[in-house]
């Protein structure tokens, strides 16, 4: 376990002891994630290339002898409390994720006793690095350990996905939860959502670094537009299937099938999906060959596709990408995450990261009067839990 995570767990455990006058009996943690390439492909059974990052959500928990569930958010200095089986209406966003996770878990595994818990995290919220998935995965790992539930990792992340669907009303795929659970230190994954399988790719970046630049634009449209995109691609698939009997699912679609889609908007959405899946495969090959210039070109092509064909970018993200691409030490850049805000990911020479940060900060302030946050993350292991 890396030093920072140990330090954060110790701090959260101390906070638990302060609030509950007892030590936690178990700890669970789950990281946020970056996604190098392969955006809006998960719910269309495509490919992506994510990895977990060194930012976490931590859950410290101690079972109770009664039926009370008492949970404190250390970040929000807020508390939720209810008795198992009792009606409860969560009032804040963190409570919705928490209550949804506990309820979905409890519907599958009997919660015979309650518990005290503290939740803390440093995964940036609303930045496209999946703070919500990290929270779900950390809490599900804590519940699995606390109630000794017989559930494997893949089934666990599917429960987390149900929280998004049923309690947040976002029809998301499995990218965020899968990456948070299954990532490996220093590696990227080629994640295949059709097979629900992954292989690991060495991410030795040599003289290059992944830099995330936060637009500070909160993704207000993400939920409704996300569902809209899910429906658009589903409609396009059904039309293609009705005209081409060889197509049974998204992964059977080829460029030749595009002309079968009569709606021009839906045609654009499917074009993004086909080309983005290929870009993931090409990016993996570029990584294996350590061809970072080619990798950068693929990133930029992904952004153009997300901007023009999938239409999930926004002016601030476009500005950050265009600004980054002016710099000779930036090989490529794109928006990352659901879109309509959040952050960009850029491939930047390590010896020029500070220059990149300064230039991007100054230009963004000049254009939007917003101070961006820029981060260079480490690739870390996925979620875990242990008894104290």
Q: Summarize pLDDT for 308-350 with one digit per residue, the tens.
A: 999 999 999 999 999 999 999 999 999 998 888 999 999 999 9
- Rounded-to-integer distance, Cα 183 and Cα 185, Å: 7
pTM of the model: 0.93
Instruction: Report the pLDDT value the prediction gives residue 312, as an integer from 0 to 100.
Output: 95
130 and 235 fall within a common domain: no
Task: Give the CATH number of the domain where residue 301 resides.
Answer: 3.30.70.890
Residue 377 per-residue DSSP state: P
185 and 248 fall within a common domain: no
- Count of the separate structural domains present in the chain: 2
Instruction: Report the pLDDT value the prediction gives residue 140, as an integer from 0 to 100.
Output: 98
Q: Which of 349, 342, 341, 322 is nearest to 333 (CA)?
A: 322
Contact call for residues 140 and 160 (beta carbons, < 8 A): yes
21 and 87 fall within a common domain: yes
Instruction: Report the pLDDT value the prediction gives residue 129, as an integer from 0 to 100.
Output: 83
314 and 167 fall within a common domain: no
Instruction: Report the pLDDT value the prediction gives residue 282, as an integer from 0 to 100.
Output: 98
242 and 359 fall within a common domain: yes
192 and 276 fall within a common domain: no
Q: Which of 223, 233, 173, 205 is nearest to 345 (CA)?
A: 205
369 and 234 fall within a common domain: yes
Instruction: Report the pLDDT value the prediction gives residue 220, as an integer from 0 to 100.
Output: 60
CA angle (25 as vertex; 102, 131 as ends), nearest 5: 45
Q: Give the list of residues 6+ apart from residue 150 with CB closer than 8 angstroms, or none.
A: none
- Rounded-to-integer distance, Cα 328 and Cα 115, Å: 54
Task: Give the CATH number of the domain where residue 58 resides.
Answer: 3.30.230.10
Instruction: Report the pLDDT value the prediction gives residue 17, as an integer from 0 to 100.
Output: 98
- Domain extent at residue 302: 208-379
Q: Which two tokens stand for residue 354?
A: 């500070």
Splitting the chain (388 residues) into consecutive groups of 10 residues, what average pLDDT does each group show? 90 98 98 96 96 97 97 97 93 94 95 97 84 96 97 97 87 91 96 95 93 87 77 97 96 96 98 98 96 98 98 97 98 93 96 98 98 94 96
Identified catalytic residue from 176, 214, 257, 381: 176
- 42 in catalytic set: no
User: Which neighbouring-strand residues pair with 138?
Assistant: none
């Amino acid at each position: 376990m890396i030093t920072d995570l140990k330090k954060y767990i110790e701090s959260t455990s101390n906070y638990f002891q302060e609030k509950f006058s007892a030590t936690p009996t178990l700890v669970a943690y789950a990281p946020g994630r970056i996604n190098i390439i392969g955006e809006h492909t998960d719910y269309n059974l495509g490919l992506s290339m994510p990895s977990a990052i060194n930012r976490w959500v931590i859950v410290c928990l101690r079972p109770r002898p009664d039926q009370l569930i008492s949970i404190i958010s250390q970040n929000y200095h807020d508390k939720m409390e209810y008795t198992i089986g009792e009606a409860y209406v969560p009032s804040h966003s963190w409570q919705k994720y928490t209550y949804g996770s506990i309820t979905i878990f409890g519907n599958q595994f009997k919660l015979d006793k309650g518990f005290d818990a503290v939740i803390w995290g440093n995964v940036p919220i609303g930045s496209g690095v999946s703070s919500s998935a990290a929270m779900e995965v950390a809490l599900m790992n804590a519940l699995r350990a606390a109630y000794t539930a017989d559930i494997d990792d893949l089934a666990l992340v599917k429960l987390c996905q149900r929280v998004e669907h049923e309690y947040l009303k976002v029809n998301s795929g499995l990218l965020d939860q899968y990456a948070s659970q299954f990532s490996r230190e220093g590696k990227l994954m080629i994640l295949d959502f059709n097979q629900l399988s992954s292989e690991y790719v060495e991410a030795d970046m040599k003289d290059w670094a992944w830099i995330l630049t936060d637009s500070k634009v909160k993704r207000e449209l993400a939920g409704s537009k996300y569902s809209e995109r899910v429906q658009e691609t589903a409609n396009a698939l059904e039309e293609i299937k009705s005209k081409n009997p060889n197509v049974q699912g998204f992964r059977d679609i080829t460029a030749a099938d595009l002309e079968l889609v009569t709606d021009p908007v839906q045609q654009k959405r499917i074009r993004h999906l086909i080309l983005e899946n290929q870009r993931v495969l090409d990016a993996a090959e570029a990584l294996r060959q350590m061809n970072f210039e080619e990798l950068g070109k693929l990133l930029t092509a992904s952004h153009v596709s997300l901007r023009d064909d999938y239409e999930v970018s926004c002016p601030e993200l476009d500005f950050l990408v265009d600004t980054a691409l002016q710099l000779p030490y930036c090989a490529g850049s794109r928006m990352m995450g659901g879109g309509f805000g959040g952050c960009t990911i850029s491939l930047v020479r390590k010896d020029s990261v500070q220059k990149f940060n300064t230039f991007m900060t100054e230009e963004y302030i000049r254009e939007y009067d917003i101070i961006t946050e820029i981060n260079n993350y480490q690739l870390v292991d996925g979620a875990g839990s242990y008894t104290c």
